[in-house]
Chains A and B, each alone.
Chain A
Amino acid sequence: MSDKQNQRLVKEAQDAVLQQYTRRHFLKDGAMGFGALALGSLMGSCIGNTAATSLFDPANPLAPRAPQFPGKAKSVIYIHMAGAPSQLELFSYKPELAKLDGLDCPQSLLEGKKFAFIRGVPKMLGPQAVFRQRGESGLWLSDNLPHLATVIDDIAMLNAVTTDQFNHAPAQLLMQTGSARMGRPSIGAWVTYGMGSENKNLPGFVVLTSGGNNPDAGKSVWGSGFLPSVYQGVQCRSEGDPVLFLKDPSGMDRDLRRASIDAINKVNQEQYAEYQDPEILSRISQYEMAYKMQISVPDVMNINDEPAYIHEMYGTQPGKTSFANNVLLARKLVEKGVRFVQLFDWGWDTHGDSEGNAVDIGLVNKCKKVDRPITALLKDLKQRGLLDETLVIWGQEFGRTPMQENREGKKMPFKGRDHHSAAFNMWMAGGGIKGGTSYGETDEIGYNIVSGKTEAYDIQATILNQLGFNHEKLTYQSQGRNFRLTDLSGKVITEILA
């Protein structure tokens, strides 16, 4: 079959699928459309409308869809620091804590509290970093992040984030899926379900990991839960195939792959002529898309051709697995229309059980690896005019205690802090966020929240809001009820919106 013939074949197949898709949606939207969605959500998440409110179309599950209202952000880069860095050495300036360094923790702070590792009465641990006010906004930042200090006025700092989970896996799940148990869709999966994929040749939801391990909660934090599996994050890898099975077998060139897909599509077209099942047409276009992805994914995943100043700016080294490389890739991906890029960087669990896990050694080194690239990302997005439409998030599953960890009731070999669920920091930038602001307050040692309490659901609601979704109205029916990302809670953090 000639190329031309083949193109026609594929076009026909796509048209037919599209037609079917449109017809189905016409029927659906004509009858209910978003009205039904809204109705479903008014009933609360546990009570669904009987009518199907699903945006899922099996024939074309990733077709681009407009959000519920025009959002400020077109895409999201969510950087999750797995292990939970210490806010007390990065973002949360607590001079009073320094005065308490080495003293026994007062019993009042321990009563009724549960910790992952602290036992008995621990000692207080003063901040192990120097803090300064930065930028015009005068937000406090420690010297561990000197580069970030230069873009502080683009950042909205959340000072009073809280969670009820103090173990990594459940806490990561809560942050990323709205539930501390496995089985719920991740934020990116919800977004992809809501918006589809803008770039037909790239997945709508891409995941990049660094730090040597996957996050503690495993692939569930980018899973699709009860949503169709097509919405799960596609993990792009920096070793081997960037996407699993993307590369043709050795010995095959592109012409031969073209020839093989032509043959398969032709056989399938014949099958369609016999059976008239529209799913066959859908399969023909999926094979065509696979062929295109084989070019477009390696292309976007290749940072070799980036100019030297970009490498300098990000601190990237082509060919290596690094957080910096992932950050640069994130920029490239959103440039190409990927909606949701999720980065996980592992290795922030600074208990003080080893040098690498000490808040004054390991943490400092870890910061050096992320400070420059994250700063570069914000600057680079800005110079490309993309920061306004790209929401960038620094996230983590919980924070760290103002007390020094004393695992098993023993003194630790290095300075470290235990998991702390009650209060920690996150920040957002770009995508309609007001830079140079901060929201929320904690007490003078960073132990409890004083005002501006921010939960995982509020962050999720804000992300969806910036993309153009009312978090109460993006729902999917499973097991008899309408589920939503934010479960029964969530409020948009309007205080940090531009």
Chain B
Amino acid sequence: MRFKLVLRIVSVGLLLLSGSWIIRELLPAPKIDYSVQVKPILNKNCITCHGGVKQQGGFSLLFREEALGNTKSGKPAIIPGKPDESELVRRLISSDPEERMPYKHPSLSKSDINTLKQWIKEGAQWGEHWAYVPLKEEAVPQIQNEWIKNPIDQFIYQKLKDENLSPSAEAEKAVLLRRVSLDLTGMPPSELIANTFLNDSTSKGYEKLVDALLDSPGYGERWTSLWLDLARYADTKGYEADRNRIIWKYRDWLIHAFNDDKPYNEFLMEQLAGDLMPDPDDAKYIATAFHRNTMTNDEGGTDNEEFRVAAVLDRTNTTWSALMGTTFNCVQCHSHPYDPFKHEEYYKFMAFFNNTRDEDSDLELPLLRHYSPADSLKMNSLIDWLTKNSSLETAKKYYAFLKTWQPTINSMLCDNYINGALLGFDAGLRNEGSCRLKNVNLDQKEQVIFRYATNFNGGKWTINLDSLNGPLLKTVLFNKEKKDGGWKNGTIDLPPLSGKHALCFKYSNPALKGSDQTGIKFKWFAFGQKFPGQGKPGFELALRSFNELMDAQVDGIPVMVENNSEQFRKTHVFVRGNRSVEGKEVTPDVPHILNPMAENAPKNRLGLAMWLTDPNNPLVARTLVNRLWEQLFGYGLAETLEDLGSQGIAPTHKELLDHLAYQFIHENNWSIKKILKEMVMSATYRQDSKVNEKLVQKDPNNKLYARGPRVRLTAEQIRDQGLAVSNLLSSKMYGKSVMPYQPDGIWRSPYDGDVWKPSDGEDQFRRALYVFWKRSAPYPSMMTFDGGAREVCIIRRIRTNTPLQALTTLNDSTYLVMARSLASRMSEQGGTEINKKIAKGYELMMYKPISELRLKALIDLYDKSFVKFKDDVKGSAQMAGVKENPDPHAASMVMVASALLNMDEWLNKN
């Protein structure tokens, strides 16, 4: 009976598949695909001992040239075309447990062994992993039907058909409206946008909605929130005291960039190397704050070089994980265990980042200095004067110096202290104290500008060449010039010298009582030529302007500035990742497996950025479209956004991913808005998200897309939509980060005088991306809803579902304030009857009428609340948030509004 049944199924199958099946049987078997069939076997069973980390027996399977080379035994393990003569095969089937591989592990399955044999027979060709192969135009499956709206759907439909599934119908308008609005702008739509769509019955209605959302300012804010995770943006520096960092202008730069739809290639180039682009303006400098979001360690007595290197490593790792979906950090200690990256290539790549001026200083120098409008005018006149009276090149040099105080030598490089010490980042000298600044290039250096602070009259600073007893170059007398002993800049002339020398500094001041008092502190030194144009008309004014601008007390934002040739740092391999064991010296380059750098490209960050945004770079576009897809659908087409390599989870729809990435570069010209529009216009995206048990079992995480996305909202979206629906949300954009109410005692960093001071007025109710982000103590609800502390780059957030989330939306006073405000909105707009008011609340949130059962549950809550509140004046007042004469109806409505704000359908996009 059973046998018959099977037969019948087989015969039906034969009929259905008919032609193709027979043809496949008659044709020779297709060649073994290395990436799909062989690599997974090697990764799973062999590469631990024969890969990038270990090469037991002198045998590695990572690269073909290694695998075919001689092993320790003196002969190769693989002989292409001859599986039976290949040692590898013999070892797989050997009966001697000492010989049989994998050593001390179960032997490979027969079919795996056959695959390997066949592969060797066919020549043991190495294939490249899909993600490292350049993009090409993908053939779109030629399927047409009523459901399909664009090529995305053709790919999706093809796979659904293969899996015997069919797509779902389009979601109802209300659901779609909320879904696409939250996805594109992170917020519910404005009433105008919502009503226009809901009342538009034409076929163009949805597209108009999408266009309106892409055009709204909220779009830029929403996608900035995502990028802040990747940029590990925070408003503090990280370690110990975790003091404040002023870097919010970078966040604002992102908002502008997204709203202006800055092409993604330019977007990346400016963030990686804006400072090296021709004539960088403030915006290009600010963009480079991307990689200044690394942590800085202010803790007393830290080794600044150690943490400078830590930041450089972080920049290297983040560039790979966030922008290229590759686990490059594996290569820090050894060659990549699975993917074709060599140990040395890590340090070649790190070398691109190893020549920036930042040195883990407490002030986070270099900063881009923001001048007042008046000072900016002064700057313009100065630059004009310099251009006319010196040269354009000189003018540019002065402009850069005034904007960044670079190039300067940080005084933390001083050594040989006697009666003095490195104070944090400053060189401090006491009476008769001295120190040394080594290796100063004095070629054509006529003067030195130095930043210092002294609090005493009668100080004398002498500078001697090469040693304390060497020729005296200069004596400078200091008096206390400012009441507070604050920092200022000084300029002194130097006698003509050349070559590299040590400068020995000595400070004496008999007026200092006791040996413990520090008389002077230095922060940096800038060696250079004298201010040009002496004797020319306007010289005095120009010099005065220069000094005033240089001294101006202004805010700044940490940015990237490249070392000049005098300060160039060499980069070495760290043997096994250990900084204290330096291996060979390397120069900047990209891994050999990927597209080469353009021949004329400079070997610095700019060249790196050009390489990254080259259409031939196989990883950048794939990583981005995969991430955008994840934001809309809950999972990436390749789920492991952080690892598109051979250890990542293989993409469910590789051709679609490649199609989108190719289209993004070649048709959309790197426009994020265009590719997002393509995605949300697809029928795949617009599907209803209802499921049934069968489908849940077959495809629990909706990787086949037989239904629309149903995903819990992010921490930011949950806050923003609550503020929006309760009419509290401030529409203010940009500016310094805000501090909404949070319970006392969250900030407890040692030695940190900063406090959480609740912002005034509407700043209490700004969108979540403006909330001050303290790394060591982030805003609680952000963490509860799966945000990270942003100590390092967050590649993707993993969604959880916990009681602490419930407690937050039930009890956090921010949510209580939202509930009160929503309740008044319901009462004002819902008419006079209780059920109408409740129904109105639901409609305001979900854009559709409330179901009977839901309404009944909420009326029930209302009634129970009213029974309590009508006899409880105090409780009623507390719930409604009024001082006197509370209305028990109002208090009861707050209870209902709070319940509405906790609905699962509200916390999700449906």
CB of A1 within 8 A of CB of B807, answer no
Whole-angstrom distance between the Cβ of B234 and the nearest chain A Cβ: 11
CB of B302 within 8 A of CB of A271, answer no
Does B503 belong to the interface (CB within 8 Å)? Answer: no
Does B196 belong to the interface (CB within 8 Å)? Answer: no
CB of B40 within 8 A of CB of A50, answer yes
CB of B40 within 8 A of CB of A251, answer no
Within B281-302, the residues touching A (CB, 8 Å) are 295, 297, 299-302
Query: Known: A214-B749, A260-B899, A293-B807. Is A283-B801 also a contact (CB below 8 A)?
Result: yes
Whole-angstrom distance between the Cβ of A249 and the nearest chain B Cβ: 5
Using Cβ atoms and an 8 Å threshold, which residues of chain B touch A283? Answer: 801, 806, 904, 907
Among B383-391, B493-501, B661-669, B855-863, which stretch is in contact with chain A?
B855-863
- Cα A230 to Cα B811 in complex, Å, equals 19
How many chain-A residues does the 8 Å CB contact rule pick out? 99
Whole-angstrom distance between the Cβ of B540 and the nearest chain A Cβ: 42
Using Cβ atoms and an 8 Å threshold, which residues of chain B touch A229? Answer: 783-784, 786-788, 798, 800
Does A58 belong to the interface (CB within 8 Å)? Answer: yes
CB of B801 within 8 A of CB of A59, answer yes
Within A64-93, the residues touching B (CB, 8 Å) are none
CB of B242 within 8 A of CB of A218, answer yes
Please give me the residue from chain B that is nearest to A60 by CB atom. Answer: B801
Question: Which of A43, A289, A480 is within 8 Å of B648, CB to CB?
Answer: A480
- Cα A245 to Cα B314 in complex, Å, equals 35
Whole-angstrom distance between the Cβ of A227 and the nearest chain B Cβ: 8
Using Cβ atoms and an 8 Å threshold, which residues of chain B touch A243? Answer: 804, 807
Does B396 belong to the interface (CB within 8 Å)? Answer: no
Question: Which of A1, A220, A289, A481 is within 8 Å of B803, CB to CB?
Answer: A289
- Cα A270 to Cα B857 in complex, Å, equals 10
Whole-angstrom distance between the Cβ of A238 and the nearest chain B Cβ: 9
- Cα A419 to Cα B692 in complex, Å, equals 61
CB of A408 within 8 A of CB of B807, answer no
Please give me the residue from chain B that is nearest to A488 by CB atom. Answer: B333
Among A115-123, A432-440, A454-462, which stretch is in contact with chain B?
A115-123
- Cα A219 to Cα B782 in complex, Å, equals 14
Whole-angstrom distance between the Cβ of A420 and the nearest chain B Cβ: 12
Question: Which of A58, A62, A263, A419 is within 8 Å of B857, CB to CB?
Answer: A263
Does A132 belong to the interface (CB within 8 Å)? Answer: no
CB of A264 within 8 A of CB of B899, answer yes
Among A145-153, A272-280, A365-373, which stretch is in contact with chain B?
A272-280
Among B645, B689, B895, find the residue whose CB has the most chain A CB atoms closer than 10 A.
B895
Does A198 belong to the interface (CB within 8 Å)? Answer: no
Whole-angstrom distance between the Cβ of A319 and the nearest chain B Cβ: 15
- Cα A260 to Cα B806 in complex, Å, equals 12
CB of B861 within 8 A of CB of A168, answer no
- Cα A247 to Cα B813 in complex, Å, equals 10
Query: Known: A251-B878, A275-B910, A283-B904. Is A241-B299 also a contact (CB below 8 A)?
Result: no
CB of A263 within 8 A of CB of B301, answer no
Whole-angstrom distance between the Cβ of B82 and the nearest chain A Cβ: 29
Does B117 belong to the interface (CB within 8 Å)? Answer: no
Does B43 belong to the interface (CB within 8 Å)? Answer: yes
Query: Known: A47-B337, A219-B777, A253-B875. Is A275-B691 also a contact (CB below 8 A)?
Result: yes
- Cα A216 to Cα B868 in complex, Å, equals 47
CB of B860 within 8 A of CB of A1, answer yes
The digit string for A179-201, where 1 denotes a CB below 8 A from any CB of B, is 00111000000000000000000
CB of A270 within 8 A of CB of B854, answer yes
Does B156 belong to the interface (CB within 8 Å)? Answer: no
Using Cβ atoms and an 8 Å threshold, which residues of chain A touch B803? Answer: 286-287, 289-290, 293
Within B4-50, the residues touching A (CB, 8 Å) are 40, 43-44, 47-48
Whole-angstrom distance between the Cβ of B310 and the nearest chain A Cβ: 6
Does A217 belong to the interface (CB within 8 Å)? Answer: yes
CB of B806 within 8 A of CB of A218, answer no
Using Cβ atoms and an 8 Å threshold, which residues of chain A touch B810? Answer: 245, 248, 257, 260, 290
Does A489 belong to the interface (CB within 8 Å)? Answer: no
Within B517-564, the residues touching A (CB, 8 Å) are 518
Does A234 belong to the interface (CB within 8 Å)? Answer: yes
CB of A256 within 8 A of CB of B857, answer no
Whole-angstrom distance between the Cβ of B601 and the nearest chain A Cβ: 28
The digit string for B668-698, where 1 denotes a CB below 8 A from any CB of A, is 0000000000000000000001111100100
Using Cβ atoms and an 8 Å threshold, which residues of chain A touch B788? Answer: 229
Does A302 belong to the interface (CB within 8 Å)? Answer: no
Using Cβ atoms and an 8 Å threshold, which residues of chain A touch B40? Answer: 50
Among B59-67, B465-473, B622-630, B740-748, which stretch is in contact with chain A?
B740-748
Please give me the residue from chain B that is nearest to A351 by CB atom. Answer: B300
Whole-angstrom distance between the Cβ of B849 and the nearest chain A Cβ: 14
CB of A248 within 8 A of CB of B811, answer yes
- Cα A409 to Cα B640 in complex, Å, equals 52
- Cα A344 to Cα B47 in complex, Å, equals 43
Among A48, A115, A230, find the residue whose CB has the most chain B CB atoms closer than 10 A.
A230
Within B369-425, the residues touching A (CB, 8 Å) are 417, 419-421, 423
Query: Known: A58-B800, A59-B801, A270-B853. Is A168-B240 also a contact (CB below 8 A)?
Result: yes
How many chain-B residues does the 8 Å CB contact rule pick out? 117
The digit string for A335-346, where 1 denotes a CB below 8 A from any CB of B, is 000000000001
CB of A47 within 8 A of CB of B327, answer no
Using Cβ atoms and an 8 Å threshold, which residues of chain B touch A169? Answer: 239-240, 297, 299
Please give me the residue from chain B that is nearest to A120 by CB atom. Answer: B417
- Cα A44 to Cα B421 in complex, Å, equals 45
Using Cβ atoms and an 8 Å threshold, which residues of chain A touch B876? Answer: 251
Among B91-99, B268-276, B478-486, B789-797, which stretch is in contact with chain A?
B789-797
Does B321 belong to the interface (CB within 8 Å)? Answer: yes
CB of A256 within 8 A of CB of B643, answer no
Among B334, B696, B876, find the residue whose CB has the most chain A CB atoms closer than 10 A.
B696
- Cα A252 to Cα B238 in complex, Å, equals 39
- Cα A237 to Cα B303 in complex, Å, equals 34
Within A425-469, the residues touching B (CB, 8 Å) are none
CB of B749 within 8 A of CB of A213, answer yes
- Cα A117 to Cα B295 in complex, Å, equals 22
Please give me the residue from chain B that is nearest to A270 by CB atom. Answer: B853
Does A11 belong to the interface (CB within 8 Å)? Answer: no
Does A259 belong to the interface (CB within 8 Å)? Answer: yes
CB of A252 within 8 A of CB of B749, answer no
Within B823-868, the residues touching A (CB, 8 Å) are 851, 853-854, 857-858, 860-861, 864-865, 868
Using Cβ atoms and an 8 Å threshold, which residues of chain A touch B640? Answer: 480
Whole-angstrom distance between the Cβ of A167 and the nearest chain B Cβ: 5
Using Cβ atoms and an 8 Å threshold, which residues of chain B touch A279? Answer: 710, 712, 801, 904, 908
CB of B327 within 8 A of CB of A480, answer yes
Question: Which of A218, A255, A260, A286 is within 8 Å of B801, CB to CB?
Answer: A286
Does B208 belong to the interface (CB within 8 Å)? Answer: no
Please give me the residue from chain A that is nearest to B797 by CB atom. Answer: A229
CB of B642 within 8 A of CB of A260, answer no
Does B179 belong to the interface (CB within 8 Å)? Answer: no
Whole-angstrom distance between the Cβ of B550 and the nearest chain A Cβ: 29
- Cα A363 to Cα B696 in complex, Å, equals 61
Using Cβ atoms and an 8 Å threshold, which residues of chain B touch A109? Answer: none
Whole-angstrom distance between the Cβ of A317 and the nearest chain B Cβ: 19
Give A residues with C-beta under 8 Å from B: 1, 42-44, 46-50, 56, 58-59, 61-62, 114-117, 119-120, 166-170, 181-183, 209, 212-214, 216-220, 223, 228-230, 232, 234, 237, 239-241, 243-253, 255-257, 259-260, 262-264, 266-268, 270-272, 274-280, 282-284, 286-287, 289-290, 293-294, 346, 407-411, 419, 478-481
Other 18 A-B pairs with CB < 8 A, given A223-B789, A480-B648 = A46-B330, A47-B53, A182-B238, A218-B749, A218-B777, A239-B745, A241-B743, A249-B811, A249-B813, A251-B875, A260-B810, A263-B860, A266-B857, A270-B857, A280-B904, A290-B807, A480-B330, A480-B640
Q: Which 7 A-B residue pairs are closest in the complex by CB-CB distance?
A: A218-B776, A116-B301, A251-B878, A480-B327, A182-B791, A408-B421, A251-B879
Task: Give 22 CB contacts A-B under 8 Å.
Answer: A46-B330, A167-B239, A181-B310, A183-B791, A213-B749, A213-B750, A240-B745, A244-B812, A245-B780, A251-B877, A251-B878, A256-B895, A260-B898, A262-B861, A263-B896, A275-B910, A280-B904, A284-B904, A294-B807, A481-B327, A481-B337, A481-B647
